[in-house]
């Protein structure tokens, strides 16, 4: 120890430009452009870019934005499906210290206007498919805002509402633009609004450090090899595509773009572009499972699927595996850069029956390598629950892939980070092996006669019925029981003759009596813009309010 | 921007315990113990540990050290071959904020004493094989120091000189010890002295951030799957085994320990423990290539070899590939946590001839994913050289896996980091594709008649001669030419009849005339303790001073 009470290891050994560089995923694209300049980076219809070209296009975008006065801490909004320009924005925007705001394409004008105002957007890039809603939204925006069209050749029919199109805009920039890393890895890189069922949307801010780490965490969790060929089924506006734009830059992979998530296009892309990896909510997997057999033919290479968003019913996972797709179940929220946890597979589970395997794989699992802490605990006291697979608690996370915070929302931040843990709002049990299993969102739990019923568990049984395409269970008010479970079911084609009692009978055979739905309602399920089933609407229907 | 000129994204979005955790590889072993408690972690003779046991042993070590008054910023020295206790020290020591100093087992007492004094070691753990030299060294140590024996069952014959052995020592500790992460990821984790040919050894300090990142970089560079089975051919005292103790904890891999780097033991371990990965200097590969055929039999699984330290002659790489071992060529220094760069392989190189492939693979290549910058530049002006594969310059690095600095050595730090880049001291050319190729250490270059001759290039040709086991080329003083290349050659068994002229004739046929050695001297080559050929000794012999 010297006089200042610092050890010899903390004296004269400070950070300098040679040994400390802010962590940022921007270094990944620079490296791939240098090391693999000619390797394909993007496939979109007839468009082909390599990593050198993609990098140059990102630099042009950065440079053009700077030329228009956009700079550090400014918001740049994009509304687009998974097309090359949105991928480029994940690099071009932060290259000048600006913050990318990718807008959910399913939102209405009012919602979008709220976000553009709240984020103080300086510029918005608009895909032709959404120019209608954006025109409406712009009428409600307070600040001056530049509008640029994303004139995608694969969607020529959209109305153009901007001052010019993206290709002309980036021509304002310089392909040799000298961008710079952030001064501090804690600086913001993107902004994503959570769709939330009540109240104003909250703006989740990511920083360069977290984006770097979670992008690498994806590589490690999925054992993703170099040059993986990734299909963009998961929207880039959803948690920045779980950080995969940056993961692909790290791995010099191939971005196979996709405007529409429909089974035929997905199977065609998998076959034609030899896709090795894609991500999707269970609903996407269900769609693929139920696609026409003819569409599925001709795929004989390994395809890896990462799924999350809601817990995939075991039957869906088993079905995918039977189709020859290798499913990795991950877990996370917008607030955790997408997947921060995963169901790590154990070698000796290979010897279990397919049914046992599906049950194991349906669990959300353990913290990923780069999430430093995960626990199931009492929401008030933060006292961990017993690891008995039975006691329910809230899931809490701690780590570098937990968001920087909600934008301009101190009270929400205080609540979210209270006690030094991030409060997920998800309810789970903790199994003896340390794996968590989500039982429900706090607000979706059914409490019937004092017993907690996991709607997820009931749904999981419903999915095992051969006639069920989709199922959702919510609480229905009951004078006698407090609440009772009410099931909403979409039937597969050709099963129109099914009755409510058929379903109830099946449930009685497969679950504890108190969990069996008292009502079954057939029909299509209302979904949020990210494809989540809108349970609050179902609750209103159940209670006769809608 | 608010009044303080901070953007909305930098306001009220500070670090907190939920979203910021210091990066440290200590989180890796905790996670593997939680997720894969029963998976094997260590194999050593008859000893088998799993990750739960290894983690508990590390916590016991940490707790026992704390009980003896060792704490933050204190040095803990170890001298041992690659045995389980040294692996455990990579976690147990930093768990209490102390710094692990792994001593090169080939050093003499005087050198070791210098290090123990310079590092102000509080405690030393001594393997029985080295108790003799340590007894001598301890007589020269100024401060009080605790001595503990590493009483390895695989080396029962060593003299015990400590107050007790390691197993009794860790029994002083608590398997449930509550350790903590460093307050700051910049805190020191280990200390390694470079062997340096002149002057006092320099103490290279690593920090938690760099150890975390380079451990993960190993996973990504090598596409290392979970549960890889790693053979400890590379000493853990050498750049902390290139960070692989931490890499294996991240991947829940298997540490296959090895006391002695001899061909028979290596092949046996690969066969018996189904080793999938190992690292070694080219000299280890040469040894394996030249081993008896009978030793090589019975290995039919994939084995991945990472090699570095000096550039492997193309002939050695080709030979390993013929044996069915997949070679990855990496590059780095003690100052860069071991490998920071690698020869990234391009798919279309598979179509080249084996000879062309070996030449490509012998290049040191490009910066790894987590090294933010690498260049070849003028040592004085830091002006990058032309990427023409011809102009020579010094290799410079910049990134988070560049050391924290040299301990108590401000002048060396100033020199090493001058201009905001780490000065490697290696001389290289930069190829048009951005790959670097080391031509020589600055001091080993031969300048003959004003022409620079790469001794490495000459050595590379010598290695192609069927009679040559090892070769080294140094500058010999010459009145006429300034310097001339002088070759030192060790012949393979059975080639005793080779003459100096045979070798020179072979060189004339295979290189530009001015590069051909003027002298060839047969015999064994002197090596440093890390297996590097001691060129300064060869220079003295060449000049008739030794």
Contact B9 A403 (CB under 8 A): no
Question: Distance between CA atoms of B451 and B437, rounded to whole angstroms?
Answer: 18
Do residues B336 and B371 make contact, with C-beta atoms less than 8 angstroms apart?
Answer: yes
Using pLDDT thresholds of 50, 70 and 90, give the confidence band for residue A2.
very low
Contact A407 B99 (CB under 8 A): no
Residues of B with Cβ-Cβ distance to A187 under 8 angstroms? 9-10
Contact B18 A226 (CB under 8 A): no
Residues of A with Cβ-Cβ distance to B32 under 8 angstroms? none
* Inter-chain CB pairs, A–B, below 8 Å: 174
**Partner A contacted by B72 (CB < 8 A):** yes
CA distance A188 to chain B (A): 6
**Partner A contacted by B326 (CB < 8 A):** no
- Chain B, residues 238-267, CB within 8 A of chain A, namely 250
Residues of B with Cβ-Cβ distance to A210 under 8 angstroms? 19
Q: For the structural domain made of B445-542, what CATH number should be given?
A: 3.30.300.30
Using pLDDT thresholds of 50, 70 and 90, give the confidence band for residue B106.
confident
Residues of B with Cβ-Cβ distance to A397 under 8 angstroms? 18
Contact B18 A420 (CB under 8 A): yes
- A26-216 belongs to CATH 3.20.20.70: no
The closest CB to that of B420, out of A12, A16, A416, belongs to A16
Contact B18 A413 (CB under 8 A): no
Q: Is the pLDDT of residue A388 over 80?
A: yes
Q: Is A128 helix (H, G, I), strand (E, B) or coil?
A: helix
Contact B19 A405 (CB under 8 A): yes
**Partner A contacted by B45 (CB < 8 A):** no
Q: Is B482 helix (H, G, I), strand (E, B) or coil?
A: strand
Contact A10 B420 (CB under 8 A): no
CA A371 to chain centre: 16
Contact B17 A407 (CB under 8 A): no
- In three state form, how does the secondary structure of A43-101 look? EECCEEEEHHHHHHHHHHHHHHHHHCCCCCCCEEEEECCECHHHHHHHHHCHHHCCEEE
Task: State residue A197's pLDDT score.
Answer: 42
Question: Distance between CA atoms of A100 and A65, rounded to whole angstroms?
Answer: 12
Task: State residue B383's pLDDT score.
Answer: 97
Using pLDDT thresholds of 50, 70 and 90, give the confidence band for residue B480.
confident
Residues A315-327, mean pLDDT to the nearest whole number: 86
Residue B320: which of B272, B399, B263 has the closest Cα? Answer: B263
Task: State residue A460's pLDDT score.
Answer: 86
Q: Is the pLDDT of residue A366 over 70?
A: yes
Residues B490-518, mean pLDDT to the nearest whole number: 90
The closest CB to that of A226, out of B20, B31, B223, belongs to B223
Contact A21 B373 (CB under 8 A): yes
Site from B6, B18, B76, B346 to mutate, A interface, most A CB atoms within 10 angstroms: B18
**Partner A contacted by B47 (CB < 8 A):** no
Residue A530: which of A172, A207, A233 has the closest Cα? Answer: A233
Residues A393-403, mean pLDDT to the nearest whole number: 97
Site from A8, A217, A375 to mutate, B interface, most B CB atoms within 10 angstroms: A8
**Partner B contacted by A226 (CB < 8 A):** yes
Site from A2, A18, A122 to mutate, B interface, most B CB atoms within 10 angstroms: A18
Is B233 or B447 the better-scoring residue by pLDDT?
Answer: B233
Using pLDDT thresholds of 50, 70 and 90, give the confidence band for residue A106.
confident
CATH topology classification for B40-207: Rossmann fold (3.40.50)
Q: Is the pLDDT of residue A195 over 70?
A: no
Q: Is the pLDDT of residue B495 over 70?
A: yes
Q: For the structural domain made of A261-442, what CATH number should be given?
A: 3.40.50.12780
Contact B18 A417 (CB under 8 A): yes
Residues of A with Cβ-Cβ distance to B407 under 8 angstroms? 8-9, 13
Q: Is the pLDDT of residue B198 over 60?
A: no
Q: Is the pLDDT of residue A390 over 80?
A: yes
Using pLDDT thresholds of 50, 70 and 90, give the confidence band for residue B452.
low
Residues of A with Cβ-Cβ distance to B187 under 8 angstroms? 9-10
Task: State residue B2's pLDDT score.
Answer: 46
The closest CB to that of B226, out of A31, A223, A420, belongs to A223
Q: What is the DSSP letter of B511?
A: S
pTM over 0.90: no
Task: State residue B309's pLDDT score.
Answer: 62
CA distance B315 to chain A (A): 25
Instruction: Give me chain A's average pLDDT, please.
Output: 92
Range scoring the smallest mean pLDDT among A252-261, A411-420, B263-272, B280-289: B280-289
Question: Distance between CA atoms of A362 and A285, rounded to whole angstroms?
Answer: 13
Q: Which residue of B has its CA nearest to A34?
A: B434
Q: Give tens-digit pLDDT for A146-162.
A: 999 999 999 999 999 99
Work out the burial of residue B144: count CB atoms within 10 Å of its CB; fewer than 13 is exposed, 13-18 middle, 19 or more buried: exposed
Task: State residue B444's pLDDT score.
Answer: 67
Q: Is the pLDDT of residue B307 over 50?
A: yes
Q: Which residue of A has its CA nearest to B100?
A: A9
Residues of B with Cβ-Cβ distance to A99 under 8 angstroms? 9
Backbone angles phi, psi at B193, to 5 degrees: -90, 135
Do residues A116 and A126 make contact, with C-beta atoms less than 8 angstroms apart?
Answer: no
pLDDT above 70 covers a percentage of chain A that reads 96
Q: Give tens-digit pLDDT for B33-64.
A: 999 999 999 999 999 999 999 999 999 999 99
Output the six-digit token pair for A35: 């090391």
The closest CB to that of B72, out of A7, A398, A400, belongs to A7
Task: State residue B28's pLDDT score.
Answer: 98
Angle, helix A314-322 to helix A455-464, in steps of 10 degrees:
40
Tell me the β-bridge partners of A472: A488
Is A468 or A513 the better-scoring residue by pLDDT?
Answer: A468
Between the two ends of chain A, the Cα-to-Cα distance in Å is: 71
Q: Give tens-digit pLDDT for A483-538.
A: 899 999 999 999 989 999 999 999 999 887 888 999 999 999 988 766 778 887 88
Cβ neighbours of residue A357 closer than 8 Å, sequence gap 6 or more = A318, A321, A349, A350
**Partner A contacted by B432 (CB < 8 A):** no
Which of A353-367, A457-471, B108-122 shows the highest mean pLDDT? B108-122
Residues of A with Cβ-Cβ distance to B422 under 8 angstroms? 18-19
Residues B516-537, mean pLDDT to the nearest whole number: 85
Instruction: Give me chain B's average pLDDT, please.
Output: 92
- Chain A, residues 107-126, CB within 8 A of chain B, namely 120
The closest CB to that of B219, out of A187, A220, A373, belongs to A220
Q: Give tens-digit pLDDT for A246-257.
A: 999 999 999 999
The closest CB to that of A369, out of B7, B31, B369, belongs to B31
The closest CB to that of B12, out of A18, A216, A405, belongs to A405
Question: Distance between CA atoms of B195 and B66, rounded to whole angstroms?
Answer: 30
Q: What is each CA distance from A84 to A28, A54, A231, in whole angstroms?
A: 17, 9, 12
Q: What is the CA radius of gyration of chain B?
A: 24
Q: Is the pLDDT of residue B1 over 60?
A: no
Question: Distance between CA atoms of A191 and A181, rounded to whole angstroms?
Answer: 18
Residues of B with Cβ-Cβ distance to A219 under 8 angstroms? 220
Residue A173: which of A61, A51, A78, A30 has the closest Cα? Answer: A61
Cβ neighbours of residue A141 closer than 8 Å, sequence gap 6 or more = A113, A116, A117, A121
Tell me the β-bridge partners of B330: B342
Is A481 or A328 the better-scoring residue by pLDDT?
Answer: A328
**Partner B contacted by A340 (CB < 8 A):** no
Q: What is the ipTM of this complex?
A: 0.88
Residues A354-371, mean pLDDT to the nearest whole number: 90
Task: State residue A244's pLDDT score.
Answer: 98
The yes-or-no answer to whether B40-207 and B261-442 have a common fold is yes
The closest CB to that of A400, out of B21, B120, B205, belongs to B21
Beta-carbon neighbour count of residue A476 at 10 Å? 23
**Partner B contacted by A328 (CB < 8 A):** no
Question: Distance between CA atoms of A499 and A521, rounded to whole angstroms?
Answer: 10
Domain boundaries, chain B: 40-207, 261-442, 445-542
Output the six-digit token pair for B308: 């570095």
Task: State residue A148's pLDDT score.
Answer: 98
Range scoring the smallest mean pLDDT among A181-190, B263-272, B453-462: B453-462
Backbone angles phi, psi at A453, to 5 degrees: -115, 125
């Amino acid at each position: 120890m010297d006089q200042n009470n610092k050890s010899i290891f903390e004296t004269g050994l400070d950070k300098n430009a040679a040994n400390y560089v802010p962590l940022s995923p921007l270094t990944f694209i620079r490296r791939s452009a240098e090391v693999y300049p000619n390797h394909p980076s993007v496939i979109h219809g007839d468009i082909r870019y390599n990593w050198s070209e993609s990098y140059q296009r990102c630099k042009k975008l950065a440079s053009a934005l700077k030329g228009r006065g956009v700079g550090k801490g400014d918001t740049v909004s994009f509304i687009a499906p998974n097309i090359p320009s949105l991928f480029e924005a994940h690099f071009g925007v932060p290259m000048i210290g600006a913050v990318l705001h990718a807008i959910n394409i399913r939102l209405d004008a009012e919602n979008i206007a709220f976000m553009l105002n709240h984020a103080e957007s300086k510029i918005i890039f608009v895909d032709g498919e959404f120019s209608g809603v954006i025109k409406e939204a712009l009428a409600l925006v307070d600040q001056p805002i530049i509008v640029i069209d994303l004139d995608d050749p694969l969607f020529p029919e959209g109305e153009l509402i901007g001052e010019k199109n993206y290709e002309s805009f980036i021509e304002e920039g310089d392909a040799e633009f000298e961008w710079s890393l952030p001064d501090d890895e804690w600086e913001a890189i993107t902004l994503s609004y959570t769709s939330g069922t009540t109240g104003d949307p909250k703006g989740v801010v990511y920083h360069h450090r977290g984006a770097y780490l979670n992008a690498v965490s994806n590589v490690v969790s999925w054992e993703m090899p170099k040059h993986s060929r990734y299909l963009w089924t998961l929207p880039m506006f959803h948690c920045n595509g779980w950080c995969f734009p940056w993961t692909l830059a790290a791995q010099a992979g191939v971005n196979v773009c996709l405007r529409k998530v429909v089974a035929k296009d997905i199977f065609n892309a998998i076959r034609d572009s030899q896709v090795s990896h894609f991500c999707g909510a269970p609903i996407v997997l269900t769609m693929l499972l139920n696609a026409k057999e003819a569409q599925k033919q001709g795929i004989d290479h390994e395809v890896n699927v990462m799924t999350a968003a809601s817990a995939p019913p075991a039957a869906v996972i088993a079905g995918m595996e039977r189709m020859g797709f290798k499913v990795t179940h991950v877990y996370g929220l917008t607030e955790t850069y997408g997947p921060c946890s995963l169901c790590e597979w154990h070698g000796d589970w290979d010897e279990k029956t397919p049914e046992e395997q599906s049950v194991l794989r349906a669990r959300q699992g353990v913290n990923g390598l780069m999430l430093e802490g995960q626990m199931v605990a009492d929401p008030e006291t933060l006292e961990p629950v017993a690891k008995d697979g039975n006691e329910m608690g809230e899931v809490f996370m701690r780590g570098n892939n937990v968001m920087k915070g909600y934008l301009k929302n101190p009270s929400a931040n205080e609540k979210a980070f209270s006690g030094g843990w991030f409060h997920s709002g998800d309810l789970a049990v903790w199994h003896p092996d340390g794996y968590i299993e989500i039982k429900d969102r706090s607000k979706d739990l059914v409490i019937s006669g004092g017993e907690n019923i996991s709607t997820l568990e009931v749904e999981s049984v419903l999915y095992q019925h051969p006639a069920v395409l989709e199922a959702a269970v919510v609480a229905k008010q009951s004078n006698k029981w407090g609440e009772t479970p009410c099931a909403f079911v979409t039937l597969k084609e050709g099963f129109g003759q099914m009755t409510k009692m058929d379903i109830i009978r099946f449930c009685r055979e497969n679950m504890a009596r108190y969990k069996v739905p008292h009502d079954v309602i057939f029909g299509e399920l209302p979904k949020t813009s990210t494809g989540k089933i809108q349970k609050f609407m179902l609750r209103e229907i159940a209670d006769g309010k809608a």
